[in-house]
Amino acid sequence: MLFSEIILDNEKFRIDDEFFMKEYISAYRKIKSIPNIVLKDEISVLTDFHANGSYEAISEVFELLDEPNFAYMVRTTDLETNNFSDNVKYITKKAYNFLSKSQVFGGELLINKIGTPGKSYLMPYLNRPTSLGMNLFLIRTNENSCINEKFLYIYFNTNFGLKIINRKINGTVPLTIDKAAIRSLYVPKFESDLIYEISSLVDKVFDLELEAKSMYRQAELLLLDTLKLKDFNPPSQTINIKSFSNSFCTSGRLDAEFYQEKYEGYLKKIQAYPYGCEPIRTACKLKDANYTPKDNQTYQYIELSNIGNLGEITGASLDLGCNLPSRARRKVSKNDVIVSSVEGSLASCAIVSEQYHQALCSTGFYVVSSEKINSETLLILFKSEPIQQLLKQGCSGTILTAINKDEFLNIPLPLVDANIQTQIADLIRQSNYLRIKSKGLLEKAKKAVELAIEKDQESALDFIKGKQTNDCNVH
């Protein structure tokens, strides 16, 4: 490579081998070989949390809160799970107004700065005051730009876009990307009709995701209504006096948290269910036998980070048994329900789909199935507020707080009426169908952009409209 090529578009004068990796150079040259634009010329805003002032000035007004407050602060973890309501963070009105340069209104492109630098997301419209998290960039395009945030979101998630942006990541621990690198990124310049079609696909993706969430929420409300817990407010008394015989003698627990009145409130409501309830040990089958992976066999491995907020498994690592961690010891089957045992992640529950039949999961999950409660109802039960509270009550430990096997098996589950179970199953299946359809359209949008880069825009438009092409197929 000539020196003139080495310094071209190399604002940091890097000479490390990663910057000149063959796959990165190939993607860069391909984008440069077609009509293209530089991102800095097409954006009106590139900002982050730290654009609001010095650390000292921000620290005087800023505090990250767990309890609901004036404004929500969006973080990478929320974007990853597509969950903007559970375990989220808040800031005060004063902090929100002070952080005026990083207010979020929806529709912006957000890009990770560290952790997984360069990973991009499209911010949904939440209809609430929202502020940008500390480790994200926010981008808004010019009003008269030939591109928009929806197109950028798709492009930066294609094989070409990922390589273009990953090439500009630098550092060691942690890896980072900075504003100068973001501004320097090359983007293909397409005609307005293709940009419109890509944007329309993105709109459909988000509409389907909202519909999938709505179906899931209907299943949750149906269950809570059935259990007479829809509008239940548990006791909030901070003092609960117990005799020795009704406390340590039977529970073996001395910690005050265990005896909070709210747990008793949830327990009584579940036990009052007219169709009865049973502890998990009799209502379900617990699969807790260890499986030893074969060294030279390839397995799918499911971890906590692979669980979505709608009870789906979002992915799994693929590796030889000899390379898997020692906690990869549970083999799962289709329709099993996996439930996290770790406090702080108790809501990480999912149904095992056909795709992950015979995969391995972490011993941090309990794996259950039942002949009395279908998988969809089990999922909604385990993720419901009353059972989540009882799971939390059963947690113990110091460094890693978790619910042990005996406590887990003793938790009562209502034996939900069969007709209600069928309705819940139908809603969850519809939710899954819409979610999968949404994912398919997202892949279609990415493949269309890749086809436009590799071949031409006409082929990409034909592909979007369902016309046959020999270059790309979506199933």
The token pair at 261 is 């009145």
**Which pairing describes strands 317-320 and 328-331: parallel, antiparallel, or unpaired?**
unpaired
State the pLDDT at residue 3.
54
349-390: pLDDT as tens digits: 999 999 999 999 999 999 999 999 999 999 999 999 999 999
**Is the same domain home to 276 and 403?**
yes
On the 0-12 / 13-18 / 19+ scale of CB atoms within 10 A, 455 is: middle
Q: Assign 69 to helix, strand or coil.
A: coil
Domain end point (choices 367, 382, 415): 415
450-473: pLDDT as tens digits: 999 999 999 999 999 997 554 444
Over residues 101-105, the mean pLDDT reads 98
Query: Could you check whether the bond before residue 129 is cis, i.e. omega within 30 degrees of 0?
Result: no
Domain boundaries, position 49: 3-189
CATH number for position 344 = 3.90.220.20
> 399 in a domain, yes or no?
yes
Q: Please, which residues have CB within 8 angstroms of residue 226's CB and are 6 or more apart in sequence?
A: 416, 417, 420
> 48 in a domain, yes or no?
yes
> 223 in a domain, yes or no?
no
Sign of CA dihedral 120, 137, 135, 206: negative
pLDDT at 101 over 70: yes
Of 313, 317, 304, the closest CA to residue 400 belongs to 304
**Is the same domain home to 12 and 157?**
yes
User: Measured between alpha carbons, how far is 426 from 428 in angstroms, rounded to an integer?
Assistant: 6
> 273 in a domain, yes or no?
yes
**Is the same domain home to 146 and 284?**
no
**Is the same domain home to 172 and 319?**
no
For residue 368, list its beta bridge partners: 286, 337
Q: What's the structural domain count of the chain? A: 2
404-419: pLDDT as tens digits: 999 999 999 999 999 9
The token pair at 83 is 């969950």
The token pair at 387 is 């059972």
The token pair at 344 is 């702080």
Q: Please, which residues have CB within 8 angstroms of residue 104's CB and are 6 or more apart in sequence?
A: 74, 123, 130, 131, 132, 138
Domain end point (choices 171, 189, 207): 189
pLDDT at 432 over 90: yes
Domain end point (choices 415, 431, 459): 415
Q: How many other CB atoms are there within 10 angstroms of residue 246's CB atom? A: 11
Do the Cβ atoms of 146 and 195 come closer than 8 Å? yes
**Is the same domain home to 46 and 179?**
yes
**Is the same domain home to 294 and 409?**
yes
**Is the same domain home to 185 and 332?**
no
> 467 in a domain, yes or no?
no
Task: For tokens 């063959």, name the residue.
Answer: 22
pLDDT at 7 over 60: no
284-342: pLDDT as tens digits: 999 999 999 999 999 999 999 899 989 999 999 999 999 999 999 999 999 999 999 99
**Is the same domain home to 185 and 269?**
no
The token pair at 338 is 């996996």
Among 10-14, 18-22, 120-124, 200-204, which is the least confidently predicted range?
A: 10-14
pLDDT band per the 50, 70, 90 thresholds, residue 17: low
What pTM does this model have?
0.86
pLDDT band per the 50, 70, 90 thresholds, residue 2: low
pLDDT at 158 over 80: yes
> 436 in a domain, yes or no?
no
> 318 in a domain, yes or no?
yes
Start-to-end Cα distance in the chain? 41
Q: Assign 132 to helix, strand or coil.
A: strand
Question: For the chain, what is the mean pLDDT?
Answer: 91
Do the Cβ atoms of 199 and 425 come closer than 8 Å? no
pLDDT at 267 over 90: yes
**Cα dist. 282→227, 250, 273, 446, 461 in Å?**
20, 20, 17, 47, 56
Residue 299: in which H helix or E strand, if any? strand 298-302
State the pLDDT at residue 241.
61
**Is the same domain home to 373 and 287?**
yes
pLDDT at 258 over 80: no
On the 0-12 / 13-18 / 19+ scale of CB atoms within 10 A, 417 is: middle
pLDDT band per the 50, 70, 90 thresholds, residue 434: very high
Q: Report the residue count for the chain.
A: 475
User: Measured between alpha carbons, how far is 192 from 327 in angstroms, rounded to an integer?
Assistant: 51
Do the Cβ atoms of 328 and 294 come closer than 8 Å? no
pLDDT band per the 50, 70, 90 thresholds, residue 217: very high
**Is the same domain home to 18 and 155?**
yes
> 457 in a domain, yes or no?
no
**Is the same domain home to 315 and 179?**
no
**Is the same domain home to 142 and 274?**
no
